[in-house]
Amino acid sequence: MGAYPEILRRFKPETAEHEMTVAHDEGLYRHLKFRHTGTCYSGYYWFDLITVPGALIFQGDGDGFIFQRVEDMFEFFRGPVGRINPAYWQEKVVSGREGLLTYSEKAFRDKVIEEFRDACAVGVPRGTGRALREQILADDYAEIHYEQGAREAVELFEHDGFEFSDVDDWDLKDFNWWFLWACHAIVWGIAYYDTKSRPTVPDPAPARPRPKVRPEPRVIVGSPSPSRQLPVMLGARRIIDVHLPEPVGEVIT
């Protein structure tokens, strides 16, 4: 779990014409309503922020969440628009936890690559990386769009004796997009309340490209030298030494 620029990228236009209405504002008892006033997203992505001493209630065009941490929860969430901390904030959710996590195709891809790279440390059959790209990680492979299909794909994967193990134990979940959207909405809504004007949402950092799975075997004839005891890396590619017996009467330098 890390940065989620895709959520901020969609949050910006979906709240570009939202206006705040203060339904109640008395000390720590607040009820703020945020509604779209234009036509493009009219009726969609509305949300309310409600606070009482020790709790903040988020409700809107999706699941609702109740957070508890400090007396004034606006102080807890107040910060720069566009920056959220879902890994920490999820610990403060006391109602709505069932809507926090869901299967993530990105988490699945990252896990496959992580397990493959770990296997490369002890050696994998040549062509395994290509087989993974073609059979599992291809962009048009629809089976990995849902969790059951993804798990079945790696359980059935086999290339020249290489297989994945303990697939049932893999954690393939990440934060639900709506929970991340709600986190952005809370920070944005508090900034709106503080300034009494619509806050500017920053442009997200560009998403990192997906890492490639591309092992490159290197054949070495003769005994390995001390400097060739460990696999080395070229960029994001692991170079695996494959040692072959040295031919009799021939010395390769």
| CA–CA separation, 169 and 78 (whole Å) | 37
CB 51 within 8 A of CB 193: no
User: Given the structure tokens 């062509």, which residue do they identify?
Assistant: 127
Domain ranges within the chain, ordered by starting residue: 5-99+176-195, 101-171, 215-253
Supply the pLDDT for residue 39: 67
Supply the pLDDT for residue 79: 96
CB 222 within 8 A of CB 246: yes
Supply the pLDDT for residue 38: 73
CB 31 within 8 A of CB 48: yes
CB 31 within 8 A of CB 24: yes
CB 116 within 8 A of CB 128: yes
Supply the pLDDT for residue 42: 61
Q: Which regions of the chain are under pLDDT 70?
A: 1-3, 39-43, 207-253
| CA–CA separation, 37 and 41 (whole Å) | 8
Which residues sit opposite 50 in a β-bridge? Answer: 31, 57
Supply the pLDDT for residue 207: 63
Supply the pLDDT for residue 195: 97
Supply the pLDDT for residue 8: 95
User: What is the number of alpha carbons within 13 Å of residue 245 lying toward its C-beta?
Assistant: 3
| CA–CA separation, 18 and 187 (whole Å) | 14
Supply the pLDDT for residue 141: 85
pLDDT digits (tens, 9 = 90+) for 44-97: 899 999 999 999 999 999 999 999 999 999 999 999 999 999 999 999 999 989
